[in-house]
Homo-oligomer: A and B are copies of this chain.
């Protein structure tokens, strides 16, 4: 009976993707995707009592979509942005939901000198950290934590999206030291979550892809916080369109076909 069984027991790389987890840090970024796919907030949270993390779920054709938003920080009331909460929700969502694929979607800053303009959507080839400087041999490499995203050559070609490297840090602003590290990371876009999601996905061996839309030009002449807030709503529309296209593309395919 080895023959028929080996046909059924396909390796996960060749099996059609059925269960995806989308990690999105901000409500403004998450809401359009929730609306578009008519996702419903899970009344029975898969997460422990006390955490503000929310799961929205629904079906799109053959896909179970789980959108995880880390929610509002209980102490301050703002979105739980940054590496720690995105690492925690990625970990908890993988444990609870066993996804075939993780998509981390969100807004990011972009460098115009490396080809980014406001409204661009990038698929990320590599993630690294720029604010974990540990100047001891090997610890320095651990700090930077450079990782390849799951490669999606067909998706990039079909959707005609830009490809670039991402650098992640817990600050919205950028110091001189951050800038040097971002340059060393050869990053075109800068966010506050990606490399943390990549770290956890790598630990638990779940393929992860990153869809990042540019809200502000870091090497431009406008203050980051101001430009970020000004463009957030319009750029999330571009992000939303891209996430929709990515989900359409994923449906019916295996991870090795992406």
Contact = CB atoms under 8 A, between A and B. Distances in A.
A202 B85 CA distance: 13
Interface in A167-203: 169-173, 175-177, 196, 199-200, 202-203
Contacts of A79: 139
Contacts of A173: 133, 135
B50 A133 contact: no
Contacts of A172: 133-136, 139
Interface stretch (A11-19, A70-78, A102-110): A70-78
A229 interface: yes
Interface of A: 48, 50-52, 73-84, 87-88, 91-92, 95, 129, 131-136, 138-139, 141-143, 145, 147, 169-173, 175-177, 196, 199-200, 202-205, 225, 228-229
Given A76-B138, A133-B173, 16 more contacts: A50-B205, A51-B204, A52-B203, A75-B202, A80-B142, A81-B142, A83-B83, A84-B196, A87-B87, A87-B88, A88-B88, A91-B91, A129-B170, A132-B171, A139-B172, A175-B176
Nearest to A195: B84
Contacts of A228: 136
Nearest to A205: B50
B138 A171 contact: no
SS class, residues of chain A in contact with chain B: loop
Contacts of A134: 81, 171-172
A176 to B, nearest CB: 8
A225 B132 contact: no
7 contacts: A48-B95, A50-B205, A76-B141, A91-B92, A135-B172, A136-B225, A136-B229
Contacts of A88: 87-88, 91, 200
Nearest to A147: B75
A203 B170 contact: no
Contacts of A80: 142
10 interchain residue pairs of minimum CB distance: A133-B171, A132-B170, A76-B142, A134-B172, A84-B87, A175-B177, A78-B142, A78-B138, A78-B139, A135-B225
A240 B150 CA distance: 42
